[in-house]
Amino acid sequence: MKKLIVLILSCLSVACIRGYNPTYSFNQIQVVNLSGTAIEDVSASVAGTAKNISCEKVVKNAICSDYFGKRAYPQQGIELSWIHGDGSRKSDVQSPPIPSFYIPAIPLRLVHEINEAGSVKASYQQEELDRDGGMMYF
């Protein structure tokens, strides 16, 4: 038992000295329309990469989404623009934080939720397989 404790403490001290610096990545962008009406001309572009998505029309409670290869986590913001149900053009730039419980080997999904007032809530989400082989989201 002493050897196990010494081994664990040694590993922890090495990790602290070297610093834990995981690489964050994402592989999907989603725009979720929770505005109660259709939105049009939806586009999201990720600063620092050539990745962007666009959808001509997203009906209420629908998703505009795109999968792609793993990309490094953008240090800059993600710009989202759309035409709201009232005909006004809206845009928003956000840099959502990385989730506190994150497995670096599994890429994140960038989710933008547009609500009725036209404001946006952006977050990163991650999925993984549960014991039965189904998907779990957190």
Tens of pLDDT, residue by residue, the chain (138 residues): 777 676 676 666 655 555 555 677 888 889 999 999 999 999 998 876 677 889 999 999 999 998 888 877 766 788 899 998 888 999 988 888 877 777 878 888 889 999 988 889 999 888 765 555 554 554
Indicate the pTM of the whole model.
Answer: 0.73
Asked if 24 and 104 touch (Cβ cutoff 8 Å), the reply is yes
Question: Residue 50 and residue 138: Cα distance in Å, rounded?
Answer: 27
CATH class of 22-137: mainly beta
Region for residue 36 given its phi and psi (left: phi exceeds 0; alpha: psi -120 to 50; beta: otherwise): left
Q: Where are the domains of the chain?
A: 22-137
